[in-house]
Structure 1
Amino acid sequence: MSSFSRQRYGDEINMKHKVEDIFIPGVELTSREEVHLLAYFPNIEAILKMEKVIDNYLPGKKNDSRVFGNQLYYDLNGEIIGIDDTLRQVALNIGLDNLVDLVH
């Protein structure tokens, strides 16, 4: 997904969610030691910024959809708007302590 698409998606969420709706941006991360963490962010801008950092710690391989299935992007209406070819179902190349520091 291009940075333009990420920004557009973030803008859609910001515009369509009302004050009474609850939306907490978050991501599950897996450290090199296979420890799973949940990281929450105050807003869409913060998680999009972190996504760019996290991408640097991915193995840099393409997703094999025959093994892992497709990584699909949806809009707020449940329509598929794209496919992410990046392999994201694996541990990041960063240790637990450094990952915690990175999120904070």
Structure 2
Amino acid sequence: MNYYYDFHIHSALSPCAEEEMTPNNIVNMALVNGLDMIAVTDHNSAKNLRALWQCAADKPLLLVPGIEVESLEEVHVSCLFPRVEEAEEMGRFVGEHLPAMKNKEEIFGPQYIFDEEDHLVGKEEQLLLVSTDLTVETIFSAALDLSGCAYFSHVDRDSYSILSALGTLPPSIETSVVEVSDTPWGRQFARQRKDLAEKRFLYSSDCHRLADMSQKKNCIDLPEITTRSVINWIKDMR
């Protein structure tokens, strides 16, 4: 059965996201847009996922716990997990490999942590919008070790993408899926790249404000709507 998705959404924990990106606002906007599944993938942190999970628990919407990790090569890698616990463990691992830099709100923006009712419960003081010292190979391996999956984010972009950094997909990483921006340019890019001819594409919004969240147009065929089915589809274990 086809399920509509947006697997690249940032909460206000990501300093580049708008303050309106709270758990309830994200979940309710996804429902308004007719989505069946979303993944919230904040930069280098999973600290809003538990609130999002609780917020979505009684809604007709599947939340796939995720995190977007920036590698040593300044490449963004999206990682998805079957449960919040695995995503939080990945977040702790990633946090250990961030440089000791304090966030400067006046430059990068605040990094908000919420509860399931959108109450502000704290701010992340560690700067998240920065590269880790982890290679892309290490990030993929860590996600797999935690029963999750990983794939390269927005490969069509001129920055923070594997193709802009290395020119091609590394042969050391086996992946059948890459993410392409949910734009006409992104789709054209995907069609023109010969090195992506055998790949399947996830079209996601990289949403940093509510208005940018994907509408009901991109879908994947799953046997059931579960986080495990999503991960198996990405890992090509259908």
Give the TM-score of the pair, scaled to structure 1: 0.80
Q: Which of 139, 146, 155 is matched with 1:99 structurally?
A: 139
Kindly state the Cα deviation for residue 32 of structure 1 after the two structures are TM-superposed: 0.9
Partner of 1:69: 109
Partner of 2:57: 17
Partner of 2:125: 85
State the distance in 1 between where 2:120 and 2:59 align. Answer: 26
Q: Report Cα offsets for 1:19-61 as digits up to 9, x if no partner.
A: 7431110011111111111100101111111111111110021
Structure 1: which 4+ aligned runs deviate by more than 4 Å? none
State the distance in 1 between where 2:85 and 2:69 align. Answer: 18
RMSD over equivalenced CA pairs, Å: 2.4
The alignment-based identity, stated in percent, is 23
Give the TM-score of the pair, scaled to structure 2: 0.37
Runs of 5+ unmatched residues, structure 1? 1-5
Alignment of 1:1-80 (within 5 A): 10=50, 13-14=53-54, 17-18=57-58, 20-80=60-120
State the distance in 2 between where 1:96 and 1:12 align. Answer: 27
Q: Verify the 8 A CA contact 1:30 1:90 in the aligned structure 2.
A: yes
Residue 28 of structure 1 aligns with an amino acid whose one-letter code is E
Q: Verify the 8 A CA contact 1:14 1:44 in the aligned structure 2.
A: no
Kindly state the Cα deviation for residue 16 of structure 1 after the two structures are TM-superposed: 6.3
Q: Which has the larger radius of gyration?
A: 2
More helix by share: 1
- Return the structure number with greater relative CO, CA threshold 8 A, min gap 6: 1
